Structure 1
Amino acid sequence: MSISPSSSAQAAREGVARRLRDLRRNADLTVTELASLCHWHHAKTSRIENARTPPSPADIRAWCRATGADDEVQDLIAASQDAESLYREWRQRVRSGLRRLQDSYVELYRSTDVLRVYSPVVVPGLLQTEGYARALLSANARLLGVPDDADEAAAARLRRSRIIHEQGHRFVMVVEEAVLHYRLGDADAMAAQLGHLLTAGALPAVSFGIIPMSTRERTLWPQETFDIHDDTLVSVELVSAEVNVTQPSEISLYLKTFEQLRGMAVYGAEARALILRAIEALD
């Protein structure tokens, strides 16, 4: 894709940096003078103004005090924290385990009318069975070097999945066929997961499509895993972090991408045939 999924976060950081730079200039202070008043090296001022270093709340308070803009403190701290929330490292979010991370998404899902999900490598979280989720989350904990609370996290993920049965929501999910063949857990866990997909795809609120590996002349190659919440937020999963995209131009690009991927998928009987083939391949 031509737009970096982290550009929303960077644009938000640059917005905070620009406001701080304007405060310094309006106070008629040089970079060195402001650094002296704040009791830090002038290079730090440059890094903050160029959005290379995010300012801490203490930095913002010192900056506003030096520029006579104490009334800007709370707004700037909130803006800076919002900017940093757009790019969130997994290790920082799961230091004490993965269960709390599962619970943190419940309100976001409940506030979403239409959730679009594209996954090229694993079954979407809302359609995962407990055994499959446990294997996936345990592997993630080992990769990130955090406490392995996969049992509790998998149970929390299943509780979160109940949103699929609540009224007022629609779920449009697309996966690559390879997802059906990547084994997580033992054969029994994988068979249970594939069997669940046979029924989950028939739920009234769920559209579940599979892009066959045999698709000829793909209009788009496999992309990173992403969720689109209505038309206001895109969450992109990277190895190291979750990137939350909020810029309208980027969201439009993800919506266009999703529609192209969805157009290559098969549904209903054709999708079930692919799942049954994957079940047979477990033997």
Structure 2
Amino acid sequence: MTSSSSSVQQAKQALGQRFREIRKDAGITARELAHRAGWHESKCSRLEHGRTPPSDADIRAWTYHCGALDQTEDLIATARGIQGMYVEWRRIERAGLKRAQESVVPLFERTRVFRAYSSWLVPGPLQTEGYTRALLRATARRRGLVDDVEQALTVRMERSRILHQGSHRFAFLIEESALRKRIGGIEVMAGQLAHLITVATLPSMSLGVIPDHADRSAIPPVEDFWIFDDAQVNVELVSAYLNVTQPHEVSLYARTFGLLQGLAVYGATARGVITSAINALG
């Protein structure tokens, strides 16, 4: 599948193409448009090639001088959507990890069907307190954040109650290798793996483990992602997360999730893989 990090740039380029088409339909050159708007000529080129994010004022000026005022609001909505696709961690974590954890509570509360694929860690709602604490501490150290780990941990644990409340349904896919990455030490990891076996029995839960020996011919490696209903996909990167809402992209992730489900094992077989990871802790 197309990498999500490139999907933001593709969206910017598509918006720039719309600017170019509007200008050409108006029959004016980039130089003339820049002159009318009071811009440097290079600004038109940057906007048309998706190199500069347009402000609301830029869009209004573009459509005004090109005689396309009927497209103004749609272009503004599209531009704002693109800006919301890429959210830097430092922006949402600047007030601390607790506030960052609280920011996603509304999304979790309104979602009815959760689908998540993880290649390197246990997904959030399935995490134990010790496992989550270790991850939050590492995040705070790595990003130089204020130490509000315990407060953030409280929010995370409270959020995990959705596993037992309401009419939510969950489908989680975890790579076997994620079960063998030690987070928080042997005791914490053993408790986390045992907890996975327990939550897998919940009636609202489908937990699949993709074995290391699975044949990957039909699906190449992909990034970790969450699908919230059929409305939104979140993809975590090192420096930011992507918020994907375009229907065709959400559908692409849903199809990819379906392919990954075909690689996974479930039930007793999955428990066997998890138990093997526990035994490997020594």
TM interval, short-chain normalised? 0.7 to 0.9
The amino acid of 1:104's aligned partner reads S
Contact 1:120/1:222, CA 8 A, preserved across alignment: no
Q: Distance in 1 between matches of 2:216 and 2:222?
A: 16
Question: What residue number does 2:112 align with?
Answer: 113
Judge conservation of contact 2:129–2:157 (CA < 8 Å) in 1: yes
1:168 paired residue number: 167
Partners of 1:235 and 1:243 within 8 A in 2: yes
Q: Pick closer, same or farther for the CA change 1:36–1:11 going to 2, 3 Å.
A: same
Q: Which residue of 2 aligns with 1:225?
A: 224
Q: Give the Cα–Cα distance (whole angstroms) in 2 for the partners of residues 206 and 10 of structure 1.
A: 36
Deviation at residue 208 of structure 1 after TM alignment: 0.8
Q: Does 1:151 align with 2:150?
A: yes
Q: TM-score by structure 1 length?
A: 0.85
| SS of residue in 2 equivalent to 1:264 | coil
In structure 1, how many angstroms separate the alpha carbons of the residues matched to 2:249 and 2:72?
Answer: 30
C-alpha deviations, 1:212-242, integer Å up to 9, x for none? 2244676545431011223333222222222
Counterpart residue number, 1:82: 81
Deviation track 1:136-157 (CA, whole Å, cap 9, x = no partner) reads 1222233334434322222222
Alignment of 1:122-133 (within 5 A): 122-133=121-132
Percent of residue pairs identical? 50
Cα distance in 2 for residues equivalent to 1:260 and 1:212: 14
Residue 115 of structure 1: CA displacement?
1.5
Letter in 2 for 1:110: E
Which residue of 2 is the match for residue 261 of structure 1? 260
Q: Does 1:190 align with 2:189?
A: yes
Are residues 254 and 157 of structure 1, via their aligned partners in 2, closer, same or farther at CA, if it must alter by over 3 Å?
same
- Kindly provide the CA deviation profile for residues 56-94 of structure 1, in whole angstroms up to 9, marking residues without a partner as x: 234334445655667765554333111111122223322
> Residue type of the partner of 1:258?
F
2:252 maps to amino acid: L
C-alpha separation in 2, matches of 1:249 and 1:70: 28
- Please report the RMSD computed on the Cα atoms of aligned residues, expressed in angstroms: 2.8
Cα distance in structure 2, aligned partners of 1:36 and 1:282: 69
Give the alignment of 1:1-283 within 5 angstroms: 2-6=1-5, 8-25=7-24, 29-64=28-63, 66=65, 75-215=74-214, 219-283=218-282
Residues 65 and 222 of structure 1, relative CA distance in 2, 3 Å threshold = closer
User: Distance between the aligned counterparts of 2:243 and 2:69, measured in 1?
Assistant: 30
SS class of match (1:228) = strand
Distance in 1 between the 2:69 and 2:211 partners? 59
Helix, strand or coil for the counterpart of 1:60? Answer: helix
Letter in 1 for 2:136: L
Q: Tell me, yes or no, if the aligned pair for 2:33 and 2:65 is still in contact at 8 Å.
A: yes
Counterpart of 1:200, as a letter, is V
Secondary structure in 1 matching 2:235: strand
Deviation of 1:3 after TM superposition, in Å, equals 1.8
Aligned to 2:4, what secondary structure does the other structure show?
coil
Q: Deviations over 1:157-215 (max 9, x none)?
A: 22222222232221100101111111111333222222221211111111111122244
SS at the partner of 1:213?
coil
Q: Is the 8 A contact 1:6 1:243 kept in 2?
A: yes
Rounded Cα–Cα distance in structure 2 between residues aligned with 1:113 and 1:92: 28
Which ranges of structure 1 fall in alignment gaps of 5 or more residues?
none
Q: 1:154 to 1:88 in 2, by over 3 A?
A: same
CA distance in 2 between counterparts of 1:18 and 1:216 reads: 40
SS in 1 for 2:230: coil
Aligned pair count?
282
SS of the aligned residue for 2:226 comes to strand
Q: Secondary structure at the match of 1:265?
A: coil
Q: Per the alignment, do residues 217 and 38 of structure 1 end up closer, same or farther by CA in structure 2, a change over 3 Å counting?
A: closer
Q: CA deviation at 1:258?
A: 1.7
Gaps of 5+ in 2: none
Give the CA deviation at 1:249.
Answer: 4.0
Contact in 2 for aligned 1:218/1:264 (Cα 8 Å): no
Would the alpha carbon gap of residues 74 and 142 (structure 1) be closer, same or farther in structure 2, given more than 3 Å must change? farther
